[in-house]
Amino acid sequence: MASISAVRRARVRAPWSAAAWRDTVFAVSGVPLQFAGWLLLLLPWAVWTPARVTPVLIMTAASIVLLLLALRPLTSWQRERCWAMLGLHVPRMPDFDDGRPWDALRDLRSPELWRAVQYHLLAGPALAVGGLAVIAAWAGGLVLATSGAYAWALPGSSPLSMVDKAHSVRIGALTLLGLLLLAAAPWIAAAVRRLDARAAAALLGPDRARELERRVEDLAEKRASVVDAADIERRRIERDLHDGAQQRLVSLALNLGLARETLTGVPDEAMQVIVAAHEEAKEALTELRTLIRGLHPAVLEDRGLDAALSGVAARVPLPVRLRVEAEPRASSTVEAVAYFVVSEALTNAVRHAKADEVDIAVVRRGDVLRVTVRDDGVGGADPSGGTGLTGLARRVGSVDGTFRITSPAGGPTTVTVELPCAL
């Protein structure tokens, strides 16, 4: 496989291949643009070379201003060259490219501007030398490889004349050297092309570190939007169920209860069906109310965490000490996460921990809402054990919160959650 790969690479880099000519044209076409930075710096000095200090300073300033004015056009042309010849897209730098050419004179602290200067004054000229090396390899190789074709026309006194046998040996050596140069030229062009592409992407495109920061910020904003949208959707479903299906079930249960109490002379079999239907309707209503509270309790939105958690604590068949200091109120999304943390922790305390009492503290300090739930149960809670703790940790993480649980064997179990309120 290695030999096949080597043969394939050699075929791609053959002097007559399309890749060789593409790389050559790309490397050679960059020479004028890559020397342009230094040409602009030296242009005022070619017009006039002062001898005194003040004119020298003025000429130096003029050279720098001329370069800064040309930075944006030169950078744009380099990007167009990469795209047109290689299909390489070098993204624009918003802080550098958005504006007029003379805006560079007041953006001297811009990191993007100085990266562009590095390319046009350091990397560019070095790559231009590589482009000249490519020209030299092709031109020198062609001249030397074909030396035997014109050596016969040279005068006898010429060192390349074929009159002398020694000269013929020299011609053969030069021809061989020319062929080697022609074979090496595509590899040189490919090396210049790779270096130029990397330099353009690194210095003429957005800074990778800043681009990653922007992406992280963008993803954080999008995730927050998704979480808020999910919370809004849960509240909509809660309202629809509360105002629609729950009201219908209440009406159905009332009618069945009324029929159960008032109808007389009904066969026993029919009455048994009515009684069963009434009981099923009441159970369905209870389950629906539990489902609605699980989606998004209306009291949470209307009256806040204190009232909502007081209702949760009242439904638990355990003594619960509750302390809520959550003013000013956090966003509805953060409050919903805090509510479900307490609800799930209480459920685990009743079902799994066999606790006798639970302490709950929900306290806001600055931009952090801290939720602590402690029970005196048997402990040993494991997030991987299917007690809902894994889903709870994910819900906390969706708002960039932290989730910690301490539950040694024998208890107590303490769940601590910190939620950022600056959302």
Q: Can you give the pLDDT at residue 170?
A: 75
> pLDDT: is 251 or 84 the higher one?
84
**Mean pLDDT over residues 184-202, rounded?**
92
pTM: 0.54
* Confidence bin at 1 (pLDDT 50/70/90): very low
Write the pLDDT tens digit of every residue in 82-111.
Answer: 998 888 888 888 777 776 666 666 666 777
For 397, the token pair is 């993480």
Query: Is the pLDDT confidence value at 239 over 70?
Result: no
Neighbours of 391 (CB within 10 A): 13
Question: Quick one: pLDDT band at residue 328, thresholds 50, 70, 90?
Answer: confident
Other residues' Cβ atoms within 10 Å of the Cβ of residue 72: 20
| Token reading at 43 | 């242009």
Q: Is the confidence at residue 3, as pLDDT, over 50?
A: no
290-314 average pLDDT score: 75
The token pair that represents 319 in the structure block: 């003594």
For 415, the 3-state DSSP assignment is: strand
Sign of CA dihedral 327, 331, 332, 333: negative
Instruction: Compute the mean pLDDT over every residue in the chain, rounded to the nearest whole number.
Output: 79
Task: State residue 70's pLDDT score.
Answer: 81
**Is residue 309 a contact partner of residue 362, using CB atoms and an 8 Å limit?**
yes
Q: How far is CA 219 from CA 114, 215, 392, in A?
A: 29, 6, 21
pLDDT of res. 42:
84
Over residues 142-173, the pLDDT tens digits come to 888 887 777 666 665 565 555 555 566 777 88
Contacts 24+ apart (CB under 8 A), 10-16: 13/186, 13/187, 13/190, 14/186, 15/182, 15/183, 15/185, 15/186
**129: pLDDT confidence band, cut at 50, 70 and 90?**
very high
Residues 6 or more apart whose CB falls under 8 angstroms from that of 212 comprise none
Helical pair 305-315 and 332-348, crossing angle rounded to 10 deg: 20
Mean pLDDT of all residues in 113-130: 90
Query: Residue 360: which H helix or E strand, with range?
Result: strand 358-365
DSSP 367: T
